[in-house]
Structure 1
């Protein structure tokens, strides 16, 4: 092989040095942005050139071809990660490439409130601006299958908490995390249950916890509310709790519970049927789960709401009727 003439070799070396200097200057020059903050999404399956074009379209003043070339020359073009990103004034092309290859995606935040139903949860997830509604159009059974749930019904299976997630991730991924979190909480609560509990399974604990969650106005009453239901279950007394009746009425409930509702039989009517309803009625929090499996010892069989969020507890029907007469104008109780 012939060697390059010394002058030509020198020219090649000079050009290479100039190119490297130009590349270094470009890599570390702050980019112009269309706003102080620009957000963009790198979709799954995008290559670096496609991602660079999407970034340019979003309002980042970058030459898509040069950005893709810089990523290829630094061996980071195949390492970019899908997701939503956020860049601010002063960012350079090299910092942008590092952000893409490190997967430094922006996060969304979602609060799942205690006491919400699956219907409320699903509506919020599928309308959240930072989540892909990949559960939309799926039946309840299909959703449960997608997240690996064993149960036949979705109600109550998701732990209420604040969840952080990568923007543009799917609603199913959040549901899967919330399901796993609830499974862990239920398993822990069941392992620490009172041996005298009248509950037969972790799922029954979840059902009772959901009722306690809906019936408790003040945290300090939660344990005694659970003890009332545990005492009733032990002696075969019907739970007679309004929230289960309301849940069973579904969208037909107009906000006012009437005598005919209490007398109309359905699987969640604990006035007409003994024992627990067939499913939870809401998402219980950790405190409600603990109360359901470790209620304090008491001989209370009744309670009524006082109207200020607290409850009046009674041991017998006569005392309960007196409490109802005193507080009925401010609402009813169990």
Structure 2
């Protein structure tokens, strides 16, 4: 019995553990095991019962560690949660916008996210709701973002209908950049796969992308050096599954925001006169 109530590992790092409103002791035990915080749900249930805690475990966010034993975890959940802060990352939000909100909530220091070592985090801050403790380190914050990105975005980036789109690291990053453009450039789901096809075609023939959302693409051929926003699943799926067409040009109707496609430059010029008066 001692083994089952002992810590999962000595010196394990702390992690945020959420008890949702309405979770019963069995759901909590299962979640703790799945999070690697306890060895035995049965041992957790037994101690919760004999200590009179089974119906007194409080909903909220906790800082738990696999270095804690079952007694410590049950007692912590009975005492109640730590204060936590919530941030919502919207589809198309930029790193700078997300960083500003995290700084405003005093979760991180200015520039901590944008100057984090390694490749820029732009594009990897997957749109979702995140909960952090005020005491979270920048490493904790980045780990939470990256864990969610690999859980939700990477599977979508690797499921492609185009055999010419690779699923190695560089291919995934290319699709992520395209998705970030679609998120900013094309508001409607039905248009995104067609625009993705146009952009890949332009890349293939060496034509400048000419994306209004990122003027750099008018002056340089090829992709921007990094994503221009943090795209959601719809844009990511469109980037990974472009629609083939004869189109090479497009513009956005300033009134309806719908995308107007053209096969030739002459058609495109006619559409510009019609829609961009």
TM range (shorter): 0.5 to 0.7
The 8 Å contact of residues 153 and 236 in structure 2, kept in 1 or not, is answered as yes
The 8 Å contact of residues 108 and 167 in structure 1, kept in 2 or not, is answered as yes
Change (3 A) 1:232 1:137: closer
Correspondences of 1:12-23 after superposition (within 5 Å)? none
Unpaired stretches in structure 2, ≥5 consecutive residues: 1-13, 15-50, 54-59, 63-73
The 8 Å contact of residues 198 and 230 in structure 1, kept in 2 or not, is answered as no
Q: Does 1:188 align with 2:164?
A: no
Select 2:261's aligned residue among 313, 325, 330: 313
- In the alignment, the residues of structure 2 paired with residue 218 and residue 127 of structure 1 have an alpha-carbon distance, to the nearest angstrom, of 32
Correspondences of 1:265-276 after superposition (within 5 Å)? 269-276=216-223
TM-fit CA distance, 1:310: 0.7
- In the alignment, the residues of structure 2 paired with residue 230 and residue 168 of structure 1 have an alpha-carbon distance, to the nearest angstrom, of 43
Q: Does 1:161 align with 2:128?
A: yes
Change (3 A) 1:221 1:162: same
Q: Does 1:324 align with 2:272?
A: yes
Unpaired stretches in structure 1, ≥5 consecutive residues: 1-43, 45-73, 77-82, 86-97, 146-150, 246-268, 330-334
Correspondences of 1:60-71 after superposition (within 5 Å)? none
Q: For 1:6-61, what per-residue CA distance to the aligned partner results, in whole angstroms no more than 9, with x for missing partners? A: xxxxxxxxxxxxxxxxxxxxxxxxxxxxxxxxxxxxxx9xxxxxxxxxxxxxxxxx
Select 1:120's aligned residue among 77, 94, 97: 97
TM-fit CA distance, 1:137: 5.5
Q: Which residue of 1 aligns with 2:207?
A: 237
TM-fit CA distance, 1:126: 1.3
Between the two proteins, the alignment pairs up a number of residues equal to: 207
The 8 Å contact of residues 198 and 233 in structure 1, kept in 2 or not, is answered as no
Q: For 1:279-300, what per-residue CA distance to the aligned partner results, in whole angstroms no more than 9, with x for missing partners? A: 0010011111111121111111
Q: Does 1:303 align with 2:244?
A: no
Select 1:223's aligned residue among 176, 189, 193: 193
Question: What secondary structure does 2:213 align onto?
Answer: helix
Give the superposed CA RMSD: 3.2
- In the alignment, the residues of structure 1 paired with residue 141 and residue 260 of structure 2 have an alpha-carbon distance, to the nearest angstrom, of 39
Change (3 A) 1:107 1:137: closer
- In the alignment, the residues of structure 2 paired with residue 203 and residue 304 of structure 1 have an alpha-carbon distance, to the nearest angstrom, of 25
**TM score, norm. by length of structure 1:** 0.55
**TM score, norm. by length of structure 2:** 0.65
Q: Which residue of 2 aligns with 1:197?
A: 165
